[in-house]
Amino acid sequence: MKWKHFVLPLVLLAVCPLPAQDIEKRQREGIAFARLIAAHQLPVVTHGQCFSAQGNWLERDKADKQNGAYWFQKVSTEELARMASLSTACATEGIEGHANPNATSVAAFVARSREFQNILLNRAEAVLHDHSLIEEYLLQP
């Protein structure tokens, strides 16, 4: 009879998740969410920073033509969100910062930001699909 008193708590532990694990998981999810929100906030940028980033992205594009894959599809979601924010901030700075903004450079930043945001959207939809939440997402107004 004594072994039943020992087995029952073990079965309950196996069936019920431990609260500490749930708390730790929620904390990690909260930190990850906060990091993504921070990555989406538009940074304060200078023209030098913008054109340095654009030059870096163009160099990486040239290297991709040899490899056949897009480099920005391989970066982390957090980095991709940061680059999308940087590109949007650069386009905004180009429009607001000068009386005669260079339309070509503003358009390049807008296009680059759109590319990054499309990859982010594709990743989000993939997560929703993997978690069977896609139907709920698509039915939202």
Tens digit of each residue's pLDDT (9 = 90 or more) over 111-138: 999 999 999 999 888 887 777 777 777 7
Long-range contacts of 127-136 (CB under 8 A, 24+ apart): none
pLDDT at residue 115, rounded to an integer: 92
**Which residue from 100, 82, 96 is spatially nearest to 43, judged by alpha carbons?**
82
Q: What is the DSSP string of 10-29?
A: HHHHHHSPPHHHHHHHHHHH
Q: Are 36 and 77 in contact (CB under 8 A)?
A: yes
pLDDT at residue 102, rounded to an integer: 64
Residue 84, C-beta contacts closer than 8 angstroms, at least 6 positions apart: 40, 113, 116, 117, 120
pLDDT at residue 77, rounded to an integer: 87
Q: If pLDDT is split at 50, 70 and 90, which confidence band does 99 have?
A: very low
pLDDT(82) > 80: yes
pLDDT(5) > 60: no
Secondary structure (3-state) at 58:
helix
Tens digit of each residue's pLDDT (9 = 90 or more) over 46-59: 888 888 998 899 88
pLDDT at residue 119, rounded to an integer: 92
Q: Which residue has the higher pLDDT, 6 or 37?
A: 37
pLDDT at residue 135, rounded to an integer: 74
Residue 63, C-beta contacts closer than 8 angstroms, at least 6 positions apart: 71
Tens digit of each residue's pLDDT (9 = 90 or more) over 9-45: 555 555 555 566 777 878 888 887 787 777 767 888 8
